[in-house]
């Protein structure tokens, strides 16, 4: 496995690989890798000749007062995990390598980004789309791998690929959870033991909602209010949003029917966590 920190060296490595007709899978991450990330790398390993993992804490997707400075970083541990999961190349640029000092170009979207996480994190998806577009242009992957954990991100990336004609296939992989149900996240390391226990309310409220829907409940507001009430009743949690939306358009639903995304975000202390489930009804 090779590690590179520069775009030029990465492009150089990939040029020969592409000339040989080999397929390239890209797994974009912000590092501090856990089983969720590794599941994407392993999937990419199965489906491509060459697997590139990018590790980059992208400053443009963090808002003011968010955790860009404190986001956990451990490149040595991450490269070890990438090697074990079968990656061929790790691309870990510094912010100065990724963005020119006078960078003025961004990718924007007029739909999909104004709801859910986009509503509580203005500018977040602009930063995500910009860095993903840059990675696509640098790596020119055949396939790129994203987790359902960030369900809105997958939709936004797919739409960007369609609307800007990127020649890449987006592969979505299911959420990997801790044994008690908490969705794995690099940000879980911020949680105190009490917050870690309280954080279970996110997945539990979603699992209970699924049970109620399987039991026949079709009123979206009943499901939404049930989740919101459950999260709000946990003293250490502060609800950001709970939404029942169409899984393709993110439009709020009245009736639970078709492809449904139920998404939540909440703060445990200073830590903002998200989770979701998708249902076919």
Residues marked as catalytic? 37
Q: How far apart are CA 182 and CA 199, in angstroms?
A: 7
Terminal CA-to-CA distance of the chain, rounded, Å? 44
* Closest CB 157 distance from ligand AMP, rounded Å: 9
* Closest CB 184 distance from ligand AMP, rounded Å: 4
Instruction: Taking the CA atoms of 3, 76, 134 and 95 in sequence, report the sign of the dihedral they define.
Output: negative
| Alpha helix stretches (DSSP H) within 99-239 | 116-120, 124-139, 151-163, 193-198, 200-214, 220-232
How many residues does this entry show for the chain? 281
Residue 212: count other Cβ atoms within 10 Å of its Cβ: 16
Q: Toward ligand AMP, which CB reaches closer, 130 or 256? A: 130
Please answer whether residues 78 and 31 qualify as being in contact, where contact means their C-beta atoms are separated by less than 8 angstroms: yes
Q: Which two tokens stand for residue 103?
A: 């960078």
Q: How far apart are CA 144 and CA 216, in angstroms?
A: 37
* Closest CB 210 distance from ligand AMP, rounded Å: 17
**Binding residues for ligand AMP (CB under 6 A):** 29-30, 36-37, 39-40, 146-147, 149-150, 173, 175-176, 183-186
Residue 22: count other Cβ atoms within 10 Å of its Cβ: 14
| DSSP conformation letters of 173-194 | EPPPB-TTSPBP-GGGGG--HH
Of 26, 30, 34, 89, which Cα lies nearest the Cα of 56? 30
Q: Toward ligand AMP, which CB reaches closer, 122 or 174? A: 174
Position closest to ligand AMP via CB: 147
* Closest CB 231 distance from ligand AMP, rounded Å: 19
Q: How far apart are CA 53 and CA 41, in angstroms?
A: 7
Q: Toward ligand AMP, which CB reaches closer, 187 or 224? A: 187
């Amino acid at each position: 496995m090779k590690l590179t920190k520069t775009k030029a060296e990465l492009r150089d490595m990939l040029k020969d690989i592409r000339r040989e007709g080999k397929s390239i899978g890209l797994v974009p991450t912000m590092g501090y890798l856990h089983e969720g990330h590794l599941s994407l790398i392993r999937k990419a390993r199965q489906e491509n000749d060459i697997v590139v993992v990018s590790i980059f804490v992208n400053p443009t997707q963090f808002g003011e007062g968010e955790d860009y400075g404190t986001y956990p970083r451990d490149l040595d541990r991450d490269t070890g995990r990438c090697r074990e999961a079968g990656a061929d190349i790790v691309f870990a640029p510094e912010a100065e390598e990724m963005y020119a000092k006078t960078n003025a170009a961004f990718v924007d979207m007029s739909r999909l980004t104004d709801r859910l996480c986009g509503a509580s994190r203005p500018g977040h998806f602009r930063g995500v789309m910009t860095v993903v577009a840059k990675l696509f242009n640098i790596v020119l992957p055949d396939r790129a791998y994203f987790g359902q954990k960030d369900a809105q991100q997958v939709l936004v990336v797919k739409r960007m690929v369609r609307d800007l004609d990127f020649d890449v296939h987006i592969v979505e992989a299911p959420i990997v959870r801790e044994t008690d149900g908490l969705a794995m996240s690099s940000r879980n390391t911020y949680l105190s033991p009490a917050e870690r226990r309280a954080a279970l309310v996110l997945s539990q409220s979603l699992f209970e909602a699924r049970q109620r829907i399987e039991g026949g409940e079709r009123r979206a507001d009943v499901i939404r209010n049930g989740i919101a009430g459950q999260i709000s009743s946990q003293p250490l949690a502060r609800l950001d949003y709970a939404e029942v939306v169409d899984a393709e358009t993110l439009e709020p639903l009245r009736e639970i029917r078709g492809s449904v995304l139920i998404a939540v975000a909440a703060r445990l202390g200073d830590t903002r966590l998200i989770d979701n489930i998708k249902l076919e009804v």
